[in-house]
């Protein structure tokens, strides 16, 4: 996730749609709410939670420039990949 000014947040979840909804609506207190981090700019999927946690920890250990390179390898314009997602089922 990132802000418009490219503040980066890395996390892991078992429910990407639900978690993105929470971030976009400021429902999670802390870093992402404080720095307006609500744009999904990169994600990776796996069915193995341990693999996901290891990947998250690996990325969190990287320097910022390496995180930027990862994002830009898939999303060079830093578009919000969830911009067109339908969250209506979550908001009721």
Cβ contact 7:37 at 8 Å: yes
DSSP 8-state code for residue 8: B
Contact 82, 20 (CB under 8 A): yes
Spatial distance between the Cα atoms of 41 and 61, rounded to a whole number of angstroms:
18
In a structure prediction context, what are the per-residue pLDDT tens digits for the chain, which is 92 residues long? 999 999 999 999 999 999 999 999 999 899 999 999 999 999 999 999 999 999 999 999 999 999 999 999 999 999 999 999 988 888 65
The structural domains of the chain, ordered by start, are 1-86 (3.40.1440)
The pTM of the full predicted model, rounded to 2 decimals, is: 0.91
């Amino acid at each position: 996730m990132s802000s418009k000014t490219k503040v980066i947040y890395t996390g892991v979840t078992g429910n990407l749609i639900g978690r993105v909804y929470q971030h976009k609506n400021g429902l999670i207190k802390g870093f992402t709410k404080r720095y307006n981090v609500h744009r999904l700019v990169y994600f990776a999927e796996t069915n193995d939670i341990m693999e996901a946690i290891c990947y998250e920890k690996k990325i969190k250990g990287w320097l910022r420039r390496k995180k930027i390179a990862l994002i830009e390898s898939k999303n060079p314009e830093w578009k919000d990949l969830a911009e067109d997602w339908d969250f209506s089922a979550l908001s009721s």
